[in-house]
Amino acid sequence: MNTEEPRLGSVPAAGEKPSSVIVARDVWKSFDHGRTPVIQGVNLEIGRGEMVALWGSSGSGKSTLLHLLSGLDRPDRGEITILGLDPSREETRLRLCRRHVGFVFQLHNLIPDLTMLENLRIPCFSERRPAREVDARARYLAEKVGLSHRLTSRIQNLSGGERQRTAICRALMNRPEVIFADEPTGSLDERTADVVFNLLLRLVSEEGASVILATHDQRFTKGCHRSLHIHQGKALPL
């Protein structure tokens, strides 16, 4: 049974949605007071519903760029907009993170002592959504990833692949427009990684969200609409 609720409010609050969900203009980032230049003049646009891989070797700056594009970190220079909004403003960033942006990390960042269902409820706390609606969404997503039977299991009792599938569900709980995934299958064996990766793409595509995926594994760039090679501080078409 489809227990889906209608999509949450759109961004910007008034007027049309921008056609690009992410825009980066001449973005620069270095660490150690400029001694470690990592991102050097990146320009890119990610369209609505587009799946884009950031591919590059270890240390090339994939995570750094992902953090900048998601508003988790700020560039030294340049402009980034998410859904037409400026994430450098704290209030905007929080609003984006709460409702419009979802994250899937390599180490899933779930709370091991809580059940799958309890973990899925967490992103919805600040939204004050009715508990029944939140649980319906959790059940819907759990079913989509084949984990309905695991909703009341503690995370610590789930396998690596089940945990990562739970992390995907959690990222989608608030029906975000954009998902940022940082090596989401990095901790899994090859076969499980394939299953989880395909599930991520299928589910996100069904939801109509965009995905920006950081990966060092070129196998996973093939499932995306487009790939950018992160190399020497630039993001160039692969």
Give the residues lining the site for ligand ATP (CB under 6 A): 31-32, 36, 38, 56, 58-64, 214, 216
CB closer to ligand ATP out of 83 and 104: 104
CB of 191 to ligand ATP, least distance (A): 21
Cβ closer to ligand ATP: 60 or 210?
A: 60
Residue 8, SS3 per DSSP = coil
15 is written with which tokens? 């007027």
Q: Report, in Å, the least distance between residue 78 CB and ligand ATP.
A: 16
**CB 188, min distance to ligand ATP, A:** 15
Nearest approach, Cβ of residue 39 and ligand ATP (Å): 8
Residue placing its CB nearer to ligand ATP in the complex, 32 or 91: 32
Name which of 59 and 146 has its Cβ closer to ligand ATP: 59
* Separation CA 141–CA 144 (nearest Å): 5
For the beta carbon of residue 237, count every other beta carbon within 10 angstroms.
8
Q: Which is nearer to ligand ATP, 35 or 132 (CB)?
A: 35
Q: Which residues pair with 103 in a beta bridge?
A: 180
Helices assigned H by DSSP within the chain = 62-70, 90-95, 116-121, 131-144, 160-172, 190-207
From residue 169, alpha-carbon distances to 40, 54, 64, 81, 163 in Å are 34, 22, 24, 25, 10
Shortest CA distance to 11 belongs to which of 128, 124, 178?
Answer: 178
Minimum Å distance from CB 234 to ligand ATP?
A: 13
